[in-house]
Amino acid sequence: MEWSGKWIKPSQEMGEVCPVFIREFDGEENGGREIAKAELWVTALGVYEAVLNGSRVGQYVLAPGWTSYKSRLQYQVYDITQLLKDENRLSVTVGKGWYRSPVPGWITEEGKAEKAAIPAGLLAEIVITDKEGNTTCIGTDESWKAGESKIRFSEIYDGETFDAGFKAAEYLPAEVFEWTKDNLIPQEGEEITEQEYIKAAAVFTAPNGETVVDFGQEVTGYVQFTLDARAGDKVEISHGEVLDKDGNFYNANYRAAKAKIFYTCCDGVQTYKPKMTFFGFRYIRLDQFPGTPKPEQFYAVAVHSDMKRTGCLRSSNPMLNQLFSNIIWGQKGNFLDVPTDCPQRDERMGWTGDAQAFVKTASYNYDVDKFFTKWLADMAADQLPDGSIGHVVPTLFVGSGSAAWDDAATICPWQIYLTYGDKEILARQFDCMKKYIGFITNTTKDKYLWTGGEHYEDWLGLDAPVGSYKGSSRADFIASAFYAYSTSLVVKAGKALGEDVSCYEDLYRNIVETFRRTFTDYRTQTEHVLAVHFNLAEDPAKTADALADMVVSCGSRLQTGFVGTPYLLHVLSSYGHTDLAYTLLLRTEYPSWLYPVTKGATTVWEHWDGIMENGDFWSTDMNSFNHYAYGAVADWVYEEAAGIHTVEEAPGFERVKIAPKPDSRLDWLEASIETRKGLVRSLWKQEEGRFRYEITTPSPASIVIDGVETQVGPGEYIFYSRI
């Protein structure tokens, strides 16, 4: 579509107030002809909410979403036919959103000033089509007016200030300004929408006398509250994830993010929820609130990308089920248009390392095809000229060139292809994948290895030296291992696309040979894991055995960080150590996946001991209680414990391999995934001294029970084996 609308902004200075743009129109605008269809085309430099004749237009929250704005700004198209009347009033409120907020990428005052100077721009068109097919467009121009809204302040990190009694003194003609339209793209990702309303579980007085509301579940979104008040009464709310060991409200881990709501009441019964921001929280503190608050006055509104739930894990172990729930809530809370690292503190960015670690689990839990397609397109758009990938996408100038982080460029598209079977994602990202390999090849200090540079290494590895976050695994080892792995994925992607990848096959062969000559010993759990999982170890079984010995020798404890943890259990169970993998999964002492559950976690934590055994906090500096990466363990449960595997030669579950690996410490375990081909399900349970297996496959499958492989067609099957 050729936009006839122009970019407009308020002609008056409003400071921190969110402007509202107004356009009134009637049937005469289209010659009085009978309307067949009416649409609103709209985008903004920030986030917007459109209201037509008192009704919200669409369900999209925080539209137009977060993209690499310099090259990709989404616009939305809404059908407004049913909202039209004889006399119409369209209002569009514009907030800062991600576009104009001082997110961490702009760490200098100069950068913040540059971002703050971006206008609160709106671009819109009302497109009316009559019964004869004639079209009338009412685009943004000087005929639109702008004034101050009731939203007196709104920002992603700091929250929202709303005055319910405010009335604008006047609306002045909007001002047209020059801004590009060349970066406009139609909506590509999933819409962000309200998903669940969670009623407050309790309102209580903390030991220090503060009034706290507990929703019983950490969510990403915002609070909705209802109260009966007088004009001018004040509400002030702070958000937090956890209570301290004395039971008091705590949010020092939000760092510089104020995460506050300020609300000024009008007369009577009123309901409010923020419109231009979001929070990560389980608890709220009522710093000011008229009357005596009751649980029924408060709801936590969970907001995330509108993804279809496809995967489910259940077991006989309640603590394990809570972990499965925590993983789902962690994904919901952090899949808000981009795969963020956390939803609460002054960060909330699309960290590539977290995304690549979790992408397989993500694609089993939910249909994330569209979600990742959009995010990976932003990655390609932001790829630096040298081929490196920003540590966060959309890129915010916080660095590039880290192994396992940049490798999201190859790992994510390949996994999306395996799960959904559509080559289009590979075709779109193939140049990005190749350019990334070129970056490593051109910048390494040693040919056929990845040496030099700055890396996050095995971030938060538990074997880290005192004072370090990076674990004890060698940086060159990790980087070279991922160089090999990503090159192998380029080869696989190229072959799937029918491309000539012979040069990458040669490169991969040389990387593996050089790696094996260079790294003749493996010193940490993570080094063992990567050597086996990336097919670099000359004797993988021996290396996996050595890994198992290391794990057992330190008390059956994992010591891996962000790099090694996603693959740890896979390596153990692939080489005869499934019992040890279950021991790690079911362990409740620190460090373990279930230790946070013992501390009341309802999402996955950034640190295994975010709350330490004595009740103290790990730190205030970097201690998120909703950080999804370690939830990657769920893909081991799907694939190894329950046994559901994709087949590389037949992606998208065109064919299935189901090879369950039960454990007597669980009475039963069930996994199911709604694939593009239909439901695949695996259930095993102990029954009279044997294991009973119930398996459903929508495609031809090879079912492996006790080492015996059976070829079957689509259907439902029951097998038995001895315990």
β-sheet bridge partners, residue 284: 213, 239
The gap between the terminal CA atoms of the chain, to the nearest Å, is 64
pLDDT at 715: 97
Alpha-carbon gap, residue 179 to 43, rounded angstroms? 13
pLDDT at 714: 97
Mean pLDDT of 162-167: 97
- Which one-letter DSSP state was computed for residue 418? H
pTM: predicted TM-score of the whole model, two decimal places: 0.97
- The C-alpha angle with vertex 683 and arms to 677 and 689, in degrees rounded to 5, equals 155
- Kindly provide the residue ranges of all beta strands, DSSP E only, lying in 253-306, ordered along the sequence: 260-264, 268-272, 279-288, 298-305
Residue 606 a catalytic site member = yes
pLDDT tens figures, 574-583: 999 999 999 9
pLDDT at 103: 79
Q: Report phi then psi at 421, rounded to 5.
A: 75, 15
Alpha-carbon gap, residue 325 to 467, rounded angstroms? 33
pLDDT tens figures, 265-317: 999 999 999 999 999 999 999 999 999 999 999 999 999 999 999 999 999 99
432 φψ region: left (φ > 0), alpha (ψ -120 to 50), beta (else):
alpha
* Residue 33: pLDDT band with limits 50, 70, 90: confident
Residue 107 pLDDT more than 60?
A: no
Residue 34 pLDDT more than 90?
A: no
Residue 120 pLDDT more than 60?
A: yes
User: 143 is written with which tokens?
Assistant: 């005929």
| Residues written for the chain | 723
pLDDT tens figures, 571-619: 999 999 999 999 999 999 999 999 999 999 999 999 999 999 999 998 8
* Residue 29: pLDDT band with limits 50, 70, 90: confident
DSSP alpha helix (H) spans, 15-121: 109-116
Mean pLDDT of 101-123: 78
* Residue 520: pLDDT band with limits 50, 70, 90: very high
Residue of 327, 399, 318 lying closest to 366 (CA atoms): 327
Dihedral Cα 199, 203, 207, 208, nearest 10 deg: 100
Residue 111 pLDDT more than 80?
A: no
Alpha-carbon gap, residue 95 to 160, rounded angstroms? 10
SS3 553: helix
Residue 243 pLDDT more than 80?
A: yes
Alpha-carbon gap, residue 414 to 625, rounded angstroms? 29
Mean pLDDT of 506-531: 98
Alpha-carbon gap, residue 497 to 505, rounded angstroms? 15
Residue 341 pLDDT more than 80?
A: yes
pLDDT at 115: 81
**E strand or H helix at 43:** strand 35-44
Alpha-carbon gap, residue 276 to 156, rounded angstroms? 8
Q: What percentage of the chain reaches a pLDDT higher than 90?
A: 92
* Residue 215: pLDDT band with limits 50, 70, 90: very high
**What is the residue whose two structure tokens read 């799960």?**
419
Mean pLDDT of 447-463: 95
Mean pLDDT of 45-61: 98
Q: Catalytic one among 49, 218, 347, 674?
A: 347
- Taking the CB of residue 258, how many other CB atoms lie within 10 A of it? 13
Residue 108 pLDDT more than 70?
A: no
Give the domains, in start order, of the chain with CATH numbers. 8-187 (2.60.120.260), 193-305 (2.60.120.260), 311-641 (1.50.10.10), 656-722 (2.60.420.10)
β-sheet bridge partners, residue 298: 225
Q: Are strands 260-264 and 159-163 parallel, antiparallel or unpaired?
A: parallel
Q: In what order do the strands lie in the sheet with 678-687?
A: 311-315, 668-675, 678-687, 690-697, 715-722
Mean pLDDT of 406-414: 98
Select the more confidently predicted residue: 26 or 686.
686
pLDDT tens figures, 73-83: 999 999 999 99
pLDDT tens figures, 658-670: 999 999 999 999 9
User: 257 is written with which tokens?
Assistant: 């993010």
DSSP per-residue codes, 474-535: -HHHHHHHHHHHHHHHHHHHHHHHT---HHHHHHHHHHHHHHHHH-----SHHHHHHHHHTT
The radius of gyration of the chain's CA atoms, rounded to the nearest angstrom, is 27
Residue 397 pLDDT more than 80?
A: no
Cβ burial 436-451 (10 Å sphere, 16+ → b, else e): bbebbbeebeeebbbb
Alpha-carbon gap, residue 281 to 468, rounded angstroms? 29
Positive or negative torsion for Cα 338, 344, 347, 353: negative
pLDDT at 273: 98
Residue 209 pLDDT more than 90?
A: yes
As to burial, measured by CB atoms within 10 angstroms (0-12 exposed, 13-18 middle, 19+ buried), residue 296 is exposed
pLDDT tens figures, 636-646: 999 999 999 99
Residue of 62, 292, 7 lying closest to 177 (CA atoms): 7
Residue 722 CA, chain-centre distance (Å), reads 41
Alpha-carbon gap, residue 522 to 536, rounded angstroms? 11
Mean pLDDT of 172-196: 97
Q: Are 64 and 75 in contact (CB under 8 A)?
A: yes
pLDDT at 621: 83
β-sheet bridge partners, residue 123: 43
Q: Catalytic one among 49, 125, 191, 606?
A: 606
pLDDT at 467: 82
pLDDT tens figures, 369-392: 999 999 999 999 999 999 999 999
Q: Are strands 211-229 and 202-205 parallel, antiparallel or unpaired?
A: antiparallel
- Taking the CB of residue 196, how many other CB atoms lie within 10 A of it? 14
* Residue 127: pLDDT band with limits 50, 70, 90: very high
Q: Are 518 and 480 in contact (CB under 8 A)?
A: yes
